[in-house]
Structure formats: structure tokens, C-alpha cells
Chain A
Amino acid sequence: MSKAYILAAFRTPACRAYKGNFKSVRPDDLAAAAIKGLVERTAIDPMDVEDVILGCAFPEAEAGWDVARVASLKAGLPYQVPGMTINRLCSSGLQSIALAAEKINAGQADCLIAGGTESMTCVPLGGNKFAPNPDLVANYPEAFTGMGMTAELVAEKYGIEREEMDAFGAASHQKAAVAIAAGKFSDEIIPVEVEYAALVDGVMQKKTGLVSADDGVRAATTAASLAKLKPVFKLKGRVTAGNTSQMTDGAAAVLVVSEAYLKRIGKDPIARFAGFAVCGVPPEIMGIGPVEAIPAALKAAGLKQEDIGLYELNEAFAAQALAVAKELGLNKEIINVNGGAIALGHPLGATGSKLTATLLSEMRRTDTRYGMVSMCIGLGMGAAGIFEKI
């Protein structure tokens, strides 16, 4: 079996949906920026790329029409390079890497771009037209339990208290703020040029600017300030906007290659894709998905939990992240050391690739051998992928 390597992983900044710097940027343009940046920074010949596989959780409208193909063309890749969009909701960006790795494992490819893109500003969670299956709604309504409600159910089932969740949320912001101040994300971020247009005194003024930083982090957030927020999903509930991931716009791109390709171009990879798993759980407690996926991925990679030195465990909700850590007995010190989605945002289909970029830079910085990306998935699933630093 041919091993799959990561030559590079980059991401755009992650910006708040509706209010942030990407509110007028399309998801295909975000993806194009990530792809273009990846090709430029790795200096590969674009004609080498055999396919572009992008994850997107709501691939419609501005993210429709096979956004991977649209973004490749927009990025200036030659028309000969095809593109495919895949969807496994919040794990799409990790699934795309896994899919590329599997092609390489199977000896069917040597150079693939994986990644993900999502503009929650353009296409909201649930899509432009939420249209659940009527039979399921009638006979298995749990399948479409609202996401916030699933977090409430997880909190109830696993005994996660509001105070813990708020403390977790505040810590996410504080860790992210420290990381940003230390410039930890600057290497993994591909800045995006953004156009701003505004009517000023009746005259349309246009200008462009380069967005190079995440904009959802609030350094001043404390557990006490989060404690003031009202629960939104359940009467007398515990899940609030403050202990939930932010709605975000962003994209990421990862170059997945074979050993043969590395030899041909004479470059060293940054990591090896060591294993991946995806599992199903009850849809109404979808947040618990990683509890099944993490052990399964470890098994696939032939590793033990103790081998993992860093986790990027997507903070869809503090409730589920805490429940996952509690159930598996994960070492909290090595989870999301630079903050997570509560501070840095969760651009759904891009998240898996985004977290990979963040994980790999931290692994390099801290010389950590094994790192893991994991997340829960709507409709009741969990995914996990393991990377070995080279």
C-alpha cells in the first residue's frame, strides 16, 4: 500500500458570518484563494494535480455547481485538472483528505488537492431550503433534531454543567487570543484580497484590502461574561451563543501526495496521513460522534490514545467537546491548545482541512509525533483522522 503524505496545508482566515471580513466573499472565491495559495507556496506544477476534492456541507447556490471545479478554474488551475465536491457535513474537510489519501493508498493517484470551503453567510446551516424527509420527520423525528438541541441533550446525558461549558468557551477565546498575539497562525494562513464597497455621502466608494487574520476571537471574554448569556435552544437550558461555535466563512486546501511524487519533485512532506475513521451515533446526540470515531481511527492507525500528542477536537459546542473528552478520558491539556471553534469559528465543510492546517503547524512547532483531528457530524456521526509528523 502506497503511503499518503501531506506536503502542505493552508487555510484562509476564518471570519464571522454576516458580520466579518468575508461577508461579501463567495465560498468559491475563498476556496480559489486557498487553492491558488497552496499551489504557489508549494511551487508544484499545477498540471501535476490529478484532482481537486473539496468538502462543503451545503454545496448549493454560491457553493453549488461542483464548487471544487469552479474554485479550481477560478484559482487558475489548467482546465485539465478536474474537481469534485464531497459532503459529509461538518467532517467534509477531513473526509476530502481521507478520500485523497485512499486514492494514493490504492495507487490510483500521486498528487491531489483536498480541502473544504463554506460561506455560512451565503448558505446558512440547513441550506437555503431546509427540506427534511417527511417520512423521517413523521417516524424518526430525532434525525432532524436542531443542532443546538442536540448539544442540550448531550449536556443532559453526560452531565455537563453550564459553568464548565462557559469556562471552556472562555478558555477557547483566551487561548486563541494568545496564539494570535504570538503569530502562531501566520504561517498557515493564506491572506485573501477582499473588495469593500460602501455608499459614502451618495458616492459609491470601492476599495480592496487584504484579510490575513481570524476575526471572531474576543480576548476580553471571560466565563463570567459568558454566564450572562441566555440559553437559546431549550427552556432553562445551558447551551448559549457563547459556548457554541461561531458561524464562520472560510476555506482550506491540503496537498496530499504519494512517496513517488515526493521523490520526483525532491521535496519533503510535513506529515503522513496515518489513519481515519467515521462512525454513526444516535442523531439526537450527534455531538458524541468522536467518542466512536476516535478509538476507531486509533485502531486503523495501530496506535493508542497515549500516542496522540495533540488534538484538534472541533468545538461545535462546548457541551459535546467536554462530553467527548470526559467519555474518552482525553488529556485536556493537549486539546485545542490554540483555541477552538468557539473562538476561531466553524466553517462547516472547511473545518476538517482548516483544523488539519492548524494541527500540523502546532505539531511542527512542538515537535509532536502524532496529532488528531476529530469532529462530530450532524445527523449523528463522528470522524477522526490521525497525522504523523515527518
Chain B
Amino acid sequence: MKQIKRVSVLGAGVMGATIAAHLANAGLDVLLLDMVPKELSDAEQAKGLTLGSPEVRNRYAIQGKQGAIKGKGFYLKDFAAQVSVGNFEDHMEKISSCDWVVEVVVENMAIKKSLITEKILPNLTEGTILSTNTSGLSVNEMAELLPEQHRKNFLVTHFFNPPRFLRLLEIVPSRYTDPEVVSFMSEFGSKRLGKGIVYGKDTPNFVANRIGVYNMFNAMRHLVDLDLTVEEADAASGPSSARPKSAIFRTCDLVGNDTMAHVCRNSFELLSNDEERQMFQVPDFYSAMIEKGLFGQKAKQGFFKKEKDGIHYYDYQTGEYRAPQVPKFGSVKVAKKAGDAAAKVKAAVNGDDKAAEFVWRNLRDTLIYSFNRIPEISDDVINVDNAMKWGFGWEIGPFEMLDAIGVQQFVVRAESDGVVVPAAMREIESFYKSEGGKKFALNLVSGKYEEIPVSASQINLNRLRQAGSVLEGNQDASIHDIGDGVICLEFHSKMNAIDLGTIEMIEKAVARAEAGGVGLVVGNQGSAFSAGANLAYFLEAIKAKELNKIEELIIRLQNALMGMKYASVPVVAAPFGMVLGGGAEVALHADVINAHAETFMGLVEIGVGLLPAGGGTKELALRAIEKASAYRTDVTPFISKHFQNILMGKVSGAAAELEGMNYMRPGDAVTMDIDRLIADAKQRVLSLSATYRPSQPPQNLKAPGRDVGAVLKSQLYTMQVGGFISEYEMELGSSIAEVITGGDVPAGTLISEQYLLDLERENFLKLCGNDKTVARIENMLKTGKVLRN
């Protein structure tokens, strides 16, 4: 079987360097090369370096790698060691040992061609995959340069910036590319790199940028027509209409306005037959911005500019920046609360203010443009929808938006605007439909609905649900049969917050798995694994002076998680995204964690004036004690580290960080492709079940006791005197210290897990009774931010 172990990335600009970083994230050995600088920089001169010094010759690659570290391109800084640097003059022969060479130099056909013929081809080994990261140049034109033996291994692999975070990878074969190479790279891209694959054709700007760039330049037209400010336009075209927070104009700033204009002009040149070609003419105000150097984020000014008093916006009529007005539109407010993405889009276009009109006109034109691009840029609607979701952060794609608005309602309204609607659209009821746990998409060429297959390497809980997989459930969680005797506990409350309903399902899922199953997966496919406990419930009980309700809930949660930990069958947690507070505690009680690479996990209870009492503090105490006793060494450093995790509410920046925090352990695993997470976790259950030996409660657990407690409290004292923590945080910290060290007992006193749970609960309830905790909870519920009182 072909394998990719070593990759060369040619070109160390922002894109090349961050692609290199992501390849290192995937565990590959990466060689990052770029040009040799022609002149010494001042700093190099001061250091006494010459044009012959390796440090100078590799400067671009070194800088690129440093930029990728700074920009969080790597999951862990340590991963940067997997990227070695060099240059096109001294190190090209090294590409001969690579399994994949990806070219990421500047978007200029002549430069790319000369790199290929002069640098790559003389060093390319037969069988090595060669790809270009061009965002829209012709793959066929480049393929013509290649000799027969290399042509079949050449294709476009187009990453989106930033490659770590944007899921899209467009794969575009040339007319010579071996289909096996295409499918191999798709599998590699999804499984190893975690990318969502969209197939493009050899058309300018491929799929996502073709529609995305159209969408943005179209927005500029309607912006002016409707006399909106860019601030108003962005308020309307962000999350309330199922698009990213950066909306339209902030996205332009992120991409770079110079780049946007370049792509726009390029599109105009190349798209001579496009019915909307005039849309790719750079508006005058935009040209003026670029002349003034308002390139966006990289120039620290674009459509927006950060000032001390807030984010100012560019007034395209006067060319001046203006202080934020924080526009409030009724339609935006309604849409935000409308429900899922489809409901939001529907509400956003149906409002009766200028914001709604702007969203409607912009989406109207974009959706028609998307419809007209099939089969030009893609044969199916799914590809286009995925491209916009994964590449531009839309919650749903253009065709899903059409379904959300209602295709025929869309047609009627567009026509009443005097817009030309493609005749074929009038015949369409919807682009997607679901039946019996199967999802179908309309094939626009054949006019027939075709089933959208689910890969064997994936499990889609929604589809399973429609097919009747749910054994039991309530408003907060469901228990699925996901085949082969494996049960999946799926949370689906708001933000997957942990509530009584969730706890009930944890109890039942464990009981079911033990009664007749092979094992249990705890995972879901929502927007986050779990944002923590339902704070509103706590607040209500505190205000009603019903602390007994809280106590009951805590006891039940503790017991449910202990039941999970000591279940007679394996339990695998599949965390991803936000895994906070109670969510983290659930994961900590599984036998094994199979996390998604982008897992942001932490015990953050201190932010709301509490401590982890669902077994989280207990679990970290236990792990510290067990580590120390395994090596018969002092427990203090382990406890200190775990205490810091809780005291600082530390959240991992990626799953790769979790082992260092002792939240993940050897034997736990990380999945790159989010769509495979549940399936991988299920495989993990199956492999564990073959040799499973249930965990046993620890014996002879020695309390770190008041001596280690004093170490922590002494540190808290100095932090408080230093003004790093408030008086109340000192109190919170002391409670955490008390629990994690096993209370006010002499070091070495034998304790049990249940004793630690009782300590957790007592301290939790004590803190619930404090007004400052109430204020913290209220602030969090209201603003989503930590109140440092």
C-alpha cells in the first residue's frame, strides 16, 4: 500500500508554511523550502552573516516556520521540530526522497512553470505525487509540462487559509491524472489531514472561491445600492444568516483586500463567458482602498481598523474610518433566535428591514449563480455546499439555503425582483430529501434524486436516528445502537450542557451496555462535545434556596460517572471542540479517550465560582497520587500541576496538549477527520472489548494531605498579594486545594475515591452559598465571560 511519510512543501509564504505545519500536525516529516534571498537584511548584516550563511539562505523558510508557530498553525509547538527548512538552491535534491511534493509558490503561471521545469523535475522520483496549491490556475496547462511518467501523479491540492482550521481541501485532477491517485489523495486528505474533500474541475478559481468571491463582490454592489455601511452589512451577513462571524467584509480583511482584488481581476480575465462577468469588475471604492494600502488584517487596516475605543469601520463614501455604531437590526435579532441554520437563513431573508433586504439580494444572486455553475465547476450540489461550508465557514451551503428558503418561494420572490431565474429551477421542489434514514441529493444533470452514501469509515448519528437507531432518549440525550453491539450515548441539549436528562441517559446507557452490549461510545455530532453543566439550573436552585436540589444532582452525576468508570464493558469518550467543565468530567471517566484533533478541553468551573465536583477534581487527585506512587516519589509536583490546571481553568489548544495536562493518557487516541470520530471510537470499543478487564477502584490511596495543601495555599497567598488573583479567587483556590489534596489530614492518610467525591460535593455546595459565585454564574449566563470578583 502506498504511504505518505515525507512531504516537501515548496514555498514558505503564509500558505506554504501553514500547510507544512498542518502536515506536521498529521505526524508527517516535512521539508519546507523557499527561494534564496538576494540581499542581506539589516539584522543579518549586524550579526555578521553573509549571503552564503545557511541562516540567510534559508531565511524565508525559517521565517515561514516561525510565523506558523506564532499563528498557532501547529497543534503543539514541539511539532515544529518535524518541519526542516531549506532553500531551492541547496536542498532540491532532498525532494527525491519525498512521497509527496506540494508546490505553494506565488500564484503566477510563469513562476510555477519555471519552478516545475527547472527545480522540481530534475529531482523528482517516479511515483512521487506532485501537486500544486494553486487557487485557480489551470492544472491542465501545468500538466503539459510534465513528462509522461509524472503526469499521472500530478493534481491540484488546494488548501484554504488557515489550513489547520479550515476544513476544505479542493482536489482537482488534470486530464492525465490517474484516478487512483485522486482517490488515494482524497482518502489521505480526509483520514490523515482531517480535511473535507471537494472535487473541482479545471475551471478558474475552482469551486469555493468561484462562488465565495462572487458572493463578496456581489455584496459590495448591494452594499452601495442599499446605502449600508460595511459595519451594518457585516452585522446582517454573519451568524444570523448561517455564515461566519467574519461575515463578508471582515472576511475580505482576513483574506487580504489586495488578494481579493487580484482574484477578482483574474476572474474577469478568465471568465469571458460567465453570465455575471461584470460582477468581477473591481468596484472603484475598492480599488481606492487598495491604492491606499488598506489590505486588511496584514496591514492592520482594511474595511475595519482596531482602535483603542473599539473597531472602527471604513466609510467607502468618504474614505474615512468611523467609530463603531453597533447597528441593531430587528431582522438580525429574530434570525439569531430562529433555531437551526436553515431556520436562521429563512428568517434572515424574510425580515422587513434593510439588513434583511441586503441578505436576500446577496444570497439571491449567489444562489442563482451557484445553480448556474453546475455542471461547469462541479457535477453535484453536495460538492458546492461542502465547499462553502468547509472553505467559507457557512453553516449550510447554497443549495441547502435554497431548500431552507423554499425553492419555489425563492423563485417567485426573485422573479418579482425582476431577476432572471434559471428555467430549470422552477421545476425543483428541493435539492435534498431524507427518507428512512437515507439522504438523497438531486442530480441536476439526470433530474433524479440519488442517495448520498455514508462511507464505511463514518457513522452519521442523524441518519441512524432516522433509520430508527435510538433505543431510548429524552430532550437532552439519546442512546443509539450503532451496530456490532456497541451503544452510543449522544448528548443533544443546548450546547450539550449536562442536565438531569443527560445524567439519566448516562445511567441508562451504561446499564444497557452492561446488560447486553459490547461497550459504550460517548459522543455526538453537535457543535461541541459539551459546554459543561446547565448553569441556569444551578442559579435557579441557589436563588430558590434549594441547595438540596443541587446536592442531589451532583450526587447523581458523580454516581453516574463512577458507574461509567467501573462499568463491566469498555467506555470510550469521543470529545471534540469545546469540552468544558462537566463535559470534561464525562470524558475523564471513560476508559479511553478518542478525541478529535481540535479538542478544547478544560475544567473551567472556577470561572463561575465553583470547582469541578462531577469527579473532575477527584480524578486529577487520583491521577497525581497514582503517578507518584507508581514511582514511589513525591506527589507534590503532580498535584501542583493538576491544581494549576483547575485554578487557571486551563483549556487545551488542541487534543495534542491533553496528554501533557494528564487529561489524556497513553493508549488514548486522536482522530483527524471529525466525520470519522464516532466510527473510530466505536472501533476502539470493539478492540478494547476483546481483552477487556474492568477497572478496579484503587486501594491504599494515600492523601497528599495538609502538607501539600499548605504548598498550594502558600502559592495562592503570594498570588493574591501580587494581585494576580482576587480575595475570592484565593478562597476558591483554597477549596480546590483542599479537595485535590484529600482534605485537612496528615500526609499519607488512607482515603477512598468516594471520600474525595464527598469533599468535592461539600466544597461545591459551600461555594454555591456565596454571593460572589452567584454573581459569577449570572455574569457567565449573561455575557459568556468570566467575572473576576
Contact residues of A between 260 and 284, Cβ < 8 Å to B: 284
| A110 on interface, CB distance cutoff 8 Å | no
Assess the A131–B717 pair: CB atoms within 8 A.
Answer: no
Contact with B along A124-149 (1 / 0, CB 8 A): 00001111111011100100111001
CA distance A284 to B718 in the complex (A): 10
Chain A residue with the shortest CB-CB distance to B717:
A141
Chain A residues lying within 8 Å of B706, measured Cβ to Cβ, are 134
Assess the B717–A137 pair: CB atoms within 8 A.
Answer: yes
Chain A nearest CB, measured from B158 CB (Å) = 40
Chain A residues lying within 8 Å of B288, measured Cβ to Cβ, are none
Assess the A137–B636 pair: CB atoms within 8 A.
Answer: no
Contact with A along B687-727 (1 / 0, CB 8 A): 00000000000000000001111110111011001111000
CA distance A218 to B634 in the complex (A): 38
CA distance A234 to B711 in the complex (A): 19
Contact with B along A227-245 (1 / 0, CB 8 A): 0000001111100000000
| A97 on interface, CB distance cutoff 8 Å | no
Report if A131-B722 is in contact (Cβ < 8 Å); known contacts: A137-B714, A137-B717, A138-B713. Answer: no
Chain A residues lying within 8 Å of B715, measured Cβ to Cβ, are 146
Name the one of A129, A133, A145, A233 contacting B710, with C-beta atoms under 8 angstroms.
Answer: A133
Report if A141-B714 is in contact (Cβ < 8 Å); known contacts: A131-B636, A131-B707. Answer: yes
Q: For chain A, which range describes its interface: under 10, 10 to 19, 20 to 34, or 35 or more residues?
A: 20 to 34
CA distance A237 to B634 in the complex (A): 33
Assess the A138–B710 pair: CB atoms within 8 A.
Answer: yes
Name the one of B634, B707, B718 contacting A149, with C-beta atoms under 8 angstroms.
Answer: B718
Assess the B718–A146 pair: CB atoms within 8 A.
Answer: yes
Chain B nearest CB, measured from A136 CB (Å) = 8
Q: How many chain B residues touch A (Cβ–Cβ < 8 Å)? A: 17
Chain A nearest CB, measured from B253 CB (Å) = 30
Report if A137-B713 is in contact (Cβ < 8 Å); known contacts: A130-B636, A131-B636. Answer: yes
Chain B nearest CB, measured from A129 CB (Å) = 5
Most chain A beta-carbon contacts within 10 A, residue among B707, B708, B709, B714: B714
CA distance A153 to B721 in the complex (A): 9
Chain A residues lying within 8 Å of B722, measured Cβ to Cβ, are 146, 149, 152, 233-235, 237
CA distance A235 to B721 in the complex (A): 9
Chain A residue with the shortest CB-CB distance to B730:
A141
Chain A residue with the shortest CB-CB distance to B722:
A234
Chain A nearest CB, measured from B702 CB (Å) = 15
CA distance A132 to B716 in the complex (A): 13
CA distance A72 to B517 in the complex (A): 70
Most chain A beta-carbon contacts within 10 A, residue among B634, B636, B721: B721
Chain B residue with the shortest CB-CB distance to A231:
B722
Chain B nearest CB, measured from A384 CB (Å) = 28
Chain A nearest CB, measured from B492 CB (Å) = 42
Contact with B along A151-189 (1 / 0, CB 8 A): 011000000000000000000000000000000000000
Name the one of B710, B721, B723, B724 contacting A137, with C-beta atoms under 8 angstroms.
Answer: B710
Contact residues of A between 109 and 124, Cβ < 8 Å to B: none
Most chain A beta-carbon contacts within 10 A, residue among B634, B708, B709, B717: B717
Assess the A234–B723 pair: CB atoms within 8 A.
Answer: yes
Chain B residues lying within 8 Å of A128, measured Cβ to Cβ, are 634
Chain B residues lying within 8 Å of A136, measured Cβ to Cβ, are 710
Chain A nearest CB, measured from B719 CB (Å) = 9
CA distance A153 to B723 in the complex (A): 12
Chain B residue with the shortest CB-CB distance to A136:
B710
CA distance A284 to B721 in the complex (A): 10
Chain B residues lying within 8 Å of A131, measured Cβ to Cβ, are 636, 707-708, 710-711
Assess the A145–B717 pair: CB atoms within 8 A.
Answer: yes
Chain B residues lying within 8 Å of A141, measured Cβ to Cβ, are 713-714, 717
CA distance A146 to B710 in the complex (A): 14
Chain A residue with the shortest CB-CB distance to B706:
A134
Most chain A beta-carbon contacts within 10 A, residue among B707, B709, B710: B710
CA distance A144 to B718 in the complex (A): 8
Name the one of B707, B714, B724 contacting A144, with C-beta atoms under 8 angstroms.
Answer: B714
Chain B residues lying within 8 Å of A234, measured Cβ to Cβ, are 721-724
Chain B nearest CB, measured from A284 CB (Å) = 8
Chain B residue with the shortest CB-CB distance to A284:
B721
Chain A nearest CB, measured from B584 CB (Å) = 28
Chain B residue with the shortest CB-CB distance to A239:
B722
Chain A residues lying within 8 Å of B724, measured Cβ to Cβ, are 234-235
Chain B residues lying within 8 Å of A129, measured Cβ to Cβ, are 634, 636
CA distance A146 to B636 in the complex (A): 18
Chain A nearest CB, measured from B718 CB (Å) = 4
CA distance A144 to B709 in the complex (A): 14
Chain B residues lying within 8 Å of A145, measured Cβ to Cβ, are 717-718, 721
CA distance A145 to B634 in the complex (A): 23
Assess the A132–B634 pair: CB atoms within 8 A.
Answer: no
Assess the A132–B711 pair: CB atoms within 8 A.
Answer: yes
Chain A residues lying within 8 Å of B718, measured Cβ to Cβ, are 144-146, 149, 233
Chain B nearest CB, measured from A149 CB (Å) = 5
Chain B residues lying within 8 Å of A235, measured Cβ to Cβ, are 722-724
Chain A residues lying within 8 Å of B713, measured Cβ to Cβ, are 137-138, 141
Chain A nearest CB, measured from B716 CB (Å) = 9
Chain B residue with the shortest CB-CB distance to A146:
B718
Contact with A along B539-567 (1 / 0, CB 8 A): 00000000000000000000000000000
CA distance A131 to B709 in the complex (A): 9
Chain B nearest CB, measured from A199 CB (Å) = 16
Contact residues of A between 20 and 38, Cβ < 8 Å to B: none
CA distance A236 to B706 in the complex (A): 32
Chain A residue with the shortest CB-CB distance to B711:
A130
Chain B residue with the shortest CB-CB distance to A234:
B722
CA distance A250 to B250 in the complex (A): 57
Contact with B along A322-341 (1 / 0, CB 8 A): 00000000000000000000
Chain A nearest CB, measured from B729 CB (Å) = 12
CA distance A133 to B708 in the complex (A): 10
CA distance A131 to B637 in the complex (A): 11
Chain B residues lying within 8 Å of A130, measured Cβ to Cβ, are 636, 711, 714
CA distance A141 to B722 in the complex (A): 14
Assess the B710–A132 pair: CB atoms within 8 A.
Answer: yes
Chain A nearest CB, measured from B745 CB (Å) = 11
Chain A residue with the shortest CB-CB distance to B721:
A149
CA distance A16 to B707 in the complex (A): 32
Chain A residue with the shortest CB-CB distance to B746:
A134
Chain B nearest CB, measured from A225 CB (Å) = 16
Contact residues of B between 630 and 666, Cβ < 8 Å to A: 634, 636
CA distance A131 to B704 in the complex (A): 11
Chain A residues lying within 8 Å of B708, measured Cβ to Cβ, are 131
CA distance A7 to B153 in the complex (A): 83
CA distance A146 to B721 in the complex (A): 10
Assess the A134–B709 pair: CB atoms within 8 A.
Answer: yes
Chain A nearest CB, measured from B728 CB (Å) = 16
CA distance A132 to B722 in the complex (A): 19
CA distance A129 to B707 in the complex (A): 11
Contact with B along A270-307 (1 / 0, CB 8 A): 00000000000000100000000000000000000000
Chain A residues lying within 8 Å of B721, measured Cβ to Cβ, are 145, 149, 153, 234, 284
CA distance A137 to B724 in the complex (A): 19
Chain B nearest CB, measured from A145 CB (Å) = 6
Most chain B beta-carbon contacts within 10 A, residue among A133, A138, A236: A138
Between A and B, 12 residue pairs with Cβ closer than 8 Å are: A128-B634, A130-B711, A130-B714, A131-B711, A134-B710, A137-B713, A137-B714, A138-B710, A144-B717, A234-B721, A236-B723, A284-B721
Identify the B interface with A (CB < 8 A): 634, 636, 706-711, 713-715, 717-718, 721-724
Beyond A133-B710, A134-B709, A237-B723, 20 additional pairs, beta carbon < 8 A = A130-B636, A130-B711, A130-B714, A131-B711, A132-B711, A136-B710, A137-B710, A137-B713, A137-B714, A138-B710, A141-B713, A144-B717, A144-B718, A145-B718, A146-B715, A146-B722, A234-B722, A234-B723, A235-B722, A235-B724
- The 8 nearest A-B residue pairs measured at CB: A235-B723, A134-B710, A146-B718, A234-B722, A137-B710, A141-B717, A134-B706, A144-B714
Identify the A interface with B (CB < 8 A): 128-134, 136-138, 141, 144-146, 149, 152-153, 233-237, 284
